[in-house]
Each structure stands twice: as structure tokens, then as C-alpha cells.
Amino acid sequence: MDGIWNPKLHLRLVAGVQDLGRFQLEHFGRVDPESMDEKGTRDLVSWVDRESEVRLADLLGELLPGAGMLGEEGLRRSGEDDLLWIIDPLDGTTNFAYGHPFFAISVALVRGRHPILGVIHAPRLGETFHGYEGFGAHLDDAPMSVSDRSDTSHTLMATGFADSRRTHATVNLRNLDFMLHATRGVRRAGSAALDMAFTAAGRLDGFWEMGLNAWDVAAGIYLVRAAGGRVSDLAGRPDALAGLSIVASNGIIHDWMLDSLELDPLFDVEAEAFFPES
């Protein structure tokens, strides 16, 4: 990574993210969903999200002072070069509030529009998916790789319905119906970051969704690619960083997924036009 990053900094990042996970576990299942704010129709945010973003921003600022920052809960900090941290301090807030274990902290470092580092930590599952350019992709201490399944009838998929699902639910319901019949099954667990981490680890063979944001997918894009998989938008364009539509796979079945999935015209747009300003 041209001297920008090194194993010592990475260990500090992973340790800091895991420490943040312990903070979240102190409040896991204890946040009353009725007391939470709604950013969208069903998109909840708690004080734990906001406090986590503050703590994470402090950590990242210490590790790489010159990089900009973009976070889900309003974090916007300009940098001195083309490096940008993109973070979701708590992906799967609804799960977190209801005591469901599928939630994660997601951290990516992006150069231009190219993710060069990804950390996805699942506090309740006790797992950390991480890596950076030159260090590949790891699950805790072990290298990880995507699956090698090619028979689509034996594949396991995941999808989601983001907060904008009222505008594209019908399209994705058709996609869901097709994939339920064409594959071994489809999971919808409520954290795009973990769906992508599981794809990188070979636990899922493919994932698709529409209506997401950069902080939902940036770390996962790095991990899936570093683990040997492929990521694009639903139109097949390689730049999926904005999250408007995304397909992540083991690479073997990627073209089949693109041919099989319907893209809502609302999200059939070049990603650059919608990438959030930092």
C-alpha cells in the first residue's frame, strides 16, 4: 500500500474495532426500539450508532490523520489527498436493538474509488473479517477465500431490502422468487456488510441488493475481491462503490447472476453521479 499502511497500524485498527464491539455488546438488546429515531421508513438509528461513530472517527484520525472520513451517521471530514475512510459504525441497527446477533462494524479505506482495506467485525458472533492490499483477506487469523461452487442449483445466496424498498420491492421480490427456485436458498439477515463478509469467506456464494450506500458496501467490496471473488453493480459495471446496486459473488456464478437478476431502472445509473460528497 505504498507505505501508507503496515501490519502495526492494521493490528491497532483491528484491536480498536474489536474494542468498539465490546462497547456495543454492553448495550446489545438493551436499546428500546420504540425510543430510536427513524432516518427513513424503517431505518433506525440509536445513540449507540452515534457514539460508535465518534469513537471510530477518533481511532481512524489517530491512525491516518491525513485521510478524509465519510460515515453513515453524518460524519463528513475532508482529507489532504485521495484517501477516504468510509465507515458504518453499526450495520444492522434494527437487529442490534431487537437482540438479533447479525450486526457489524464496517470500516473501509478507499483511494479514489478503489477500496484498499476492509474490516468487518461482528461483535456478537465474535468474528473479524479483515485485510488490506498486500495482506489479502482474513477471518480472524486465517486466510479466507470465496467458494468454488459452480452448480447454481447448489448455491446459497443472500439479499436485502434497503430503506428505499417501497420504490423497488416489486422488482427485488421477482428476483427473490427466481433465486429461491434456482438455488439452494436465499438468506435475508439484515446486514449487507456481513452478507458480503460471508461471501468473501465462502459461506455464501453470492449476494445482491439495491438501494444501499457506500458505507454499507465499501469494506465488503475489498474483502470479496481480495478473497478471489467479483463485485459489480447489477448492470455489470465494476464500480459499485456507491451501493446503488451491487452483486458480489465467488466470481464463477457472477455472469449468471447478472443475467438472472432484474435491475430496477431507478438504480440503473452510473455510480459516480450518486457517490456521497465527503
**H-only helix segments in 32-76:** 47-63
Does any domain span residue 277? no
Query: Residue 49's closest CA among 70, 67, 31, 68?
Result: 31
Q: Are the C-beta atoms of 69 and 278 separated by less than 8 Å?
A: yes
Mind listing the pLDDT tens digit for each residue in 194-239?
A: 999 999 999 999 999 999 999 999 999 999 999 999 999 999 999 9
Does any domain span residue 276? no
Q: How far apart are CA 241 and CA 198, in angstroms?
A: 18
* Domain coverage including residue 253: 152-264
SS3 content of the chain, % helix, strand, coil (to 5): 35, 25, 40
Per-residue pLDDT of the chain (278 residues; tens, 9 = 90+): 778 999 999 999 999 999 999 999 998 977 666 555 555 444 455 788 899 999 999 999 999 999 999 998 888 888 877 999 999 999 999 899 889 999 999 999 999 999 999 999 999 999 999 999 999 999 999 999 999 999 999 999 999 997 655 556 889 999 999 999 999 999 999 999 999 999 999 999 999 999 999 999 999 999 999 999 999 999 999 999 999 999 999 999 999 999 999 999 988 887 665 554 44
Q: Which amino acid is at 133?
A: E
CA angle 184, 190, 193 (to 5 degrees): 90
What are the φ and ψ backbone dihedral angles of 204, each rounded to 5 degrees? -120, 150
Q: Are the C-beta atoms of 53 and 36 separated by less than 8 Å?
A: no
The pLDDT of residue 33 is: 62
41 in the same domain as 92: yes
Q: How far apart are CA 114 and CA 100, in angstroms?
A: 32
Report strand pairing: 245-249 vs 230-232. Answer: antiparallel
pTM of the model: 0.93
The pLDDT of residue 199 is: 99
List Cβ neighbours of 67 (8 Å cut-off, separation of 6 or more): 60, 79, 81, 83, 84, 85, 109
31 in the same domain as 135: yes
CATH of residue 104's domain is 3.30.540.10
CATH of residue 198's domain is 3.40.190.80
180 in the same domain as 128: no
Picking from 122, 143, 164, the residue at the C-terminal end of a domain is 143
